[in-house]
Amino acid sequence: MSLREVFVRTAQADLVKGIEVPIVDGECTALVGESGSGKSLTALAIMDLLPSGLRAEGIGLSEIQSKRRAMVFQEPMTALNPTMRVGAQIVEAAIARGDSPAEAKATALSWMSRVQIPEVEKSFNKYPHQMSGGQRQRIMIAMAMARRPELLIADEPTTALDHAVAHEILALLRALQHETGMAMLFISHDLDAVAAVADHVVVLQKGTVVESASASQLLQHPVHPYTQGLLASRPPLDRKPLRLPTVQDFLEGQPLSHEERPVFKGKTPILEVKELSKTYGGQKVFHDLALVLHEGETLGLVGASGSGKSTIAKCMVNLVHPDGGEIRYRGQRIDGLNRAGRQAMAREIQYIFQDPFSSLSPRMTIGEAIREPMVVHGLYGSPNDQRTKVEELLSAVGLPVEAYDRYPHAFSGGQRQRIGIARTLALQPKVVICDESVAALDVSVQAQVLNLLNDLKDRFQFSYLFISHDERVVRYMSDRTVVLGKG
């Protein structure tokens, strides 16, 4: 069956504009597009979960809504109840389907086992915070499957997971679909994930379908410039172009550059880690760790969740104290600095966080948020001079100076990441730590931000420690790469 002529409307405008989405038993249809293209609105319309003020209509919509449906959300930590044990939450889903309490517990234990949760009886009584990101996503899948859905909607289920765990989750979803014969609607901006699970792909742009074809045909031979741009903006596996192409380049018919990034040849160390170790709760996060970052270099740090990537970075900026070893900046030890020493070092080493929205105060305009570190460190003179510098930084990261007086909620994810970058540059650092700073961005926006990071590095002459679980991105950005295992 297909959903046809689907609209999602407000009183003023159409947000989803008459699209067609094939829903086929035993097959997976992927919805692909940038943020704001209408992917999640379409899913919420099918689930009958649209917020007030929005209404949906379409041929086949009421028939789909009469079927058993379940949804796996992007972020399981916000979708799961933090005050309930995970087993009880799966039981609740089974009871809602009609099971007795005894049947529901048996169903919950069965699905926990089938989605490969370790030590099922013990894990049944855990709270969400006691499980890893991959395990929480498996719990969400178990909750969805406990309802025996005829249609499963997976909305960005692997975006925040490292590559190995994401691959396991995708393989699990595909196996469950083949086992049960259910239809699946898979929503993602990760085209590698789409290639792993989809039979058919529908590409959305601003609420309309621009291309719809079998997965093999569309991913290998895209026709529409928008689709071509989405595919081309992913960092290539076999080369390092000077700039990544963007969707806008394809829509405007811009010629693509084939110039390669120069090979890094610097040898002057700026940041050195020697024999570093850290233990949490009696378990070693890492030990005897050694790495060197050179001036002007981008050093990639890649590894699975729990390998210690972010802990290493936080040790470098004194947010976490290591148990042993030393960290040197330009030959001087910086681990264990006093408050004054940490404040002075903050000008030299800055941090770009994964989620810019949570690192920006919702009560401060972005101009004041960028200006704040200038005030703390007494930089650039008077408030007027500081405002002028903030406006220069906004221009440097591709934002209009009028953005100064707006609040974080008024910006998209990619724009908020640019704001975070501008705030980092306010102190003119020599080392910038990027901790999963493009992980949650659409591939098209990700390409823009990666190009921006490289441009700013050339302009302001600093070094990057680039942390990511995405090996494709790390390989493109880095001059050298350090791969972390467990400890």
Per-residue pLDDT of the chain (487 residues; tens, 9 = 90+): 688 999 999 989 999 999 999 999 999 999 999 888 899 899 999 999 998 999 999 999 999 999 999 999 877 777 899 999 999 999 999 998 889 999 999 999 999 998 888 899 999 999 998 887 778 888 999 999 998 899 999 988 887 677 777 888 888 889 889 889 999 999 988 888 899 999 999 999 999 999 999 999 999 999 999 999 999 999 998 889 999 999 989 999 888 888 998 888 888 999 999 999 998 877 788 888 999 999 999 999 988 776 788 889 989 988 888 999 999 999 999 887 888 888 888 889 999 887 766 778 889 999 999 999 999 989 998 999 999 999 999 998 988 999 999 998 888 777 888 898 999 989 989 999 998 888 777 788 889 889 999 999 988 889 999 998 888 899 999 999 998 876 5
Is the Cβ–Cβ distance between 199 and 214 less than 8 Å? yes
Alpha helices in 35-85 (DSSP H): 39-47, 61-65, 76-79
Provide DSSP, 399-441. Answer: --GGGGGS-GGGS-HHHHHHHHHHHHHTT--SEEEEESTTTTS
Say if strands 269-280 and 283-294 run parallel, antiparallel, or are unpaired. antiparallel
Residue 73 DSSP SS3: coil
Strand ranges for 25-100 from DSSP E: 28-32, 55-59, 69-72
**Cβ 441 vs Cβ 449: under 8 Å:** yes
Q: Domain-by-domain residue ranges, the chain?
A: 2-232, 269-484
Fold equal for 2-232 and 269-484: yes
Distance CA 54, CA 47 (A): 13
376: amino acid identity, one letter: V
Question: Could you give the 3-state DSSP secondary structure of residue 154?
Answer: strand
Looking at domain 269-484, its CATH superfamily turns out to be: P-loop containing nucleotide triphosphate hydrolases (3.40.50.300)
Distances (CA, A) of 474 to 237, 302, 349, 450: 10, 7, 20, 10
- Residue 179's Cα: distance from chain center in Å? 29
- CATH class of the region 2-232: alpha beta
